[in-house]
Amino acid sequence: GAVVSQHPSRVICKSGTSVKIECRSLDFQATTMFWYRQFPKQSLMLMATSNEGSKATYEQGVEKDKFLINHASLTLSTLTVTSAHPEDSSFYICSASHRLSLSQDTQYFGPGTRLTVL
Amino acid sequence: TQLLEQSPQFLSIQEGENLTVYCNSSSVFSSLQWYRQEPGEGPVLLVTVVTGGEVKKLKRLTFQFGDARKDSSLHITAAQPGDTGLYLCAGEGSSNYKLTFGKGTLLTVNP
């Protein structure tokens, strides 16, 4: 159980276009999802926390107008990179929070989306 | 801001050797999770430790959570080439569900 999917797995786009990435929890409901960015051989950097039915909370330095997040249901969150530029090229990973007990929440990660902006 | 110092950052060893990866912080975490990530894939959860002093074993991997819940270690016995990957520790804060990640340990096990 606790499977998280992401779509697409890879996307190549031209500079100035927008790209939407979907994150789905397949076998559980996730009130909270997280979006991370990862550069080669580096750790994950949290971009934003997405709560179902409310506005996302962005980490310091992350532009909310550039990285639009929508969490329309308990199983789906989307990240839209607007007006993408080459410096936005990265590996984007989502995670979904799965409540295992009253005191324990575990994050399960999607397989990631490799974005390349030409 | 909670920080997790993970060491070593890089580790290259021969098959059959043992190794230990450390995660240390000055902050207390409600839980700590260890992940393994292969290139081009998302992190896969290995274990979650919750109780101070807790020890969990997963085949050749042994995970320990410090008594004060500020540090953790991952010990691998008789490493195999299949253990190669990026190992990440992540601590969950007591006031929210956010994870603070360590910088990761890139492990290479040579045959």
Residues of chain A with pLDDT under 70: 1, 100-104
- Confirm or reject contact between B28 and chain A (CB < 8 A): no
Q: Are A94 and A103 in contact (CB under 8 A)?
A: no
> Quick check: B99 and A112 CB within 8 A?
no
pLDDT the model gives residue A1: 64
Q: Which member of B41, B90, B106 has the closest CB to residue A112?
A: B41
pLDDT digits (tens, 9 = 90+) for B75-98: 999 999 999 999 999 998 766 678
Torsion of CA B43, B47, B48, B52, to 10 degrees: -130
Tell me whether the omega of the peptide bond preceding residue B111 falls within 30 degrees of 0, making it cis: no
- Confirm or reject contact between B86 and chain A (CB < 8 A): yes
B34 pLDDT band, cuts 50/70/90, is very high
Mutate which: B99, B103, B105, B108, vs A, most A CBs within 10 A:
B99
Average pLDDT over residues B16-21: 98
pLDDT the model gives residue B41: 92
> Quick check: A106 and B33 CB within 8 A?
yes
What percentage of residues in chain A have a pLDDT greater than 90? 69
Q: Are A58 and A65 in contact (CB under 8 A)?
A: no
Q: Count residue pairs from A and B with Cβ separation < 8 A.
A: 57
Q: Are A23 and A47 in contact (CB under 8 A)?
A: no
The DSSP secondary-structure symbol of B67 reads: T
> Quick check: A109 and B92 CB within 8 A?
no
> Quick check: A109 and B44 CB within 8 A?
yes
pLDDT the model gives residue A98: 81
Q: What is the DSSP string of A21-70?
A: EEEEESSS--SEEEEEEE-TTS-EEEEEEEETTS--EEPTT--TTTEEEE
pLDDT the model gives residue B30: 87
pLDDT the model gives residue A96: 93
pLDDT the model gives residue A53: 82
Distances (CA, A) of B83 to A66, A111, B48, B77: 38, 19, 19, 10
Q: Are A100 and A2 in contact (CB under 8 A)?
A: no
pLDDT digits (tens, 9 = 90+) for B39-66: 889 999 999 999 999 999 999 999 999 9
